[in-house]
Amino acid sequence: MPCPEPRGEAMRRREFITILGGAAAWPLTAPAQQSTKLPTIGVLGAGTLSSWSLWVAAFVQRLRELGWTEGRTIAIEYRWAEGRAERYAEIAAEFVRLKVDVIVTVGSAVTTVKQATAAIPIVFAAAADPLGSGLVASLARPGGNVTGLSMQSTELVTKRCELLREILPDLRRMAVMGNAGYPAALLEMRDVTAAARSLGLEIDTAELRRAEDISPAFDAFKSRVQALYVCPDALVNATVVRINTLAVGAHLPTMYPTRNFVEAGGLMAYGPNNADLFRRAGDYVDKILRGAKPADLPVEQPTKFELIINLTTAKALGLSVPPALQARADEMIE
């Protein structure tokens, strides 16, 4: 059940889009219009413009602070995969043809982009488990042409399970859902299973490969489980409203890693602030455009974490959020 966007959040979103200078008009695919003399950044958005607008705005704003102005000192080519992983290869090949100087994306697209180029630097603004999923050889010295920011998903799994049990004291059985075609999601699902069992919980697993798998997954476990942990990727990002609608219909509280899923109607999220990660990705791009090699730039960890709770969804589920949990929340969406 998608919840209405809070007034403050809507204002911030409009402000961010204003910062981007006409971002709403970005095309899905468009020919390069900037001078080839300008350093060019290729942004491969795994989701849609609307789902990425705040994050990309934070990235562009940081570049401005570092002296890079779009259209004057740099060019930026935006492409949106809209949750379709099969688009990654096409977009990566286009960036190679355009001879961009650096590609910025997220972990789900990196493996495909690496297959397209071993020469163009690749910066992931957020990756669930960059070491475990093989995106880099080492966090301290990534090697190759890839570096970026980790979301520390595996380290936060137990905390998220504990938060679910805090809002559901009688929680005995939960489900974990993720894209089986995304290695980091499979790793996180494994970690969720281990964490749930360590807390004395039984666990069901729902592996997705396409949007059509979502409804059958709910049919399979909705009468068996009491809560749902959702592992993020481009497919989940593109179908989050459907997932949340089905979850509310099945009376299942949901746990996500980042706030955007809760803004779309999920119950809770605990994890890194994605806008801050994208902002810090601007520092990587700045260093690379000034001559640094991705192989020598360590993968960094998140420094800002947030607990977000959607009170509208809690009410729809018939849940009362404990006062102690409300006091710890960074934001309560109503």
Q: How do the domains of the chain map onto residue ranges?
A: 7-151+273-304, 153-272+306-333
Q: What is the mean pLDDT of residues 23-45?
A: 64
Ranges 28-42, 56-70, 230-244, 282-296: which has the least confidence: 28-42
Tens-digit pLDDT profile for residues 133-170 = 899 999 999 999 999 999 887 779 999 999 999 999 99
What are the C-alpha distances in Å from 291 to residues 2, 140, 157, 160, 315? 44, 19, 37, 40, 53
pLDDT of residue 285: 98
Assess contact for 41 and 75: CB atoms under 8 A: yes
For residues 145 and 268, give the distance between their C-alpha atoms in angstroms, rounded to a whole number: 35
Query: Sorting pLDDT into bands at 50, 70 and 90, what band is 227?
Result: very high
Answer positive or negative: Cα dihedral of 289, 23, 91, 132: positive
Q: Largest Cα–Cα distance of the chain, in whole Å?
A: 62
Fold adopted by 153-272+306-333: Rossmann fold (3.40.50)
Q: Say yes or no to pLDDT of 296 above 80.
A: yes
- DSSP class of 47: S
* Span between the terminal Cα atoms of the chain, in Å: 13
* 257 contacts 233 by C-beta, under 8 angstroms: no
Least-confidence region, from 3-17, 31-45, 113-127, 147-161:
3-17
**In the predicted model, is pLDDT for residue 219 greater than 60?**
yes
Per-residue pLDDT for 193 more than 80? yes
Tell me the pLDDT of the chain averaged across its residues: 89
Which band of pLDDT confidence, cut at 50, 70 and 90, is reported for residue 17?
Answer: very low
Q: What is the 3-state secondary structure (H, E, C) of 151-204?
A: CCHHHHHHHHHHHHHHHCCCCCEEEEEEECCCHHHHHHHHHHHHHHHHCCCEEE
Model confidence at 194: pLDDT above 60: yes
The pLDDT assigned to 23 comes to 42
Instruction: Considering the domain delimited by 7-151+273-304, tell me its CATH architecture.
Output: 3-Layer(aba) Sandwich (3.40)
pTM: 0.82
Spatial strand order in the sheet of 102-105: 75-80, 40-45, 102-105, 122-127, 146-150
Query: Per-residue pLDDT for 5 more than 80?
Result: no
> Of 277, 283, 334, 281, which is closest to residue 306 (Cα–Cα)?
277
Percent of the chain with pLDDT over 90: 76
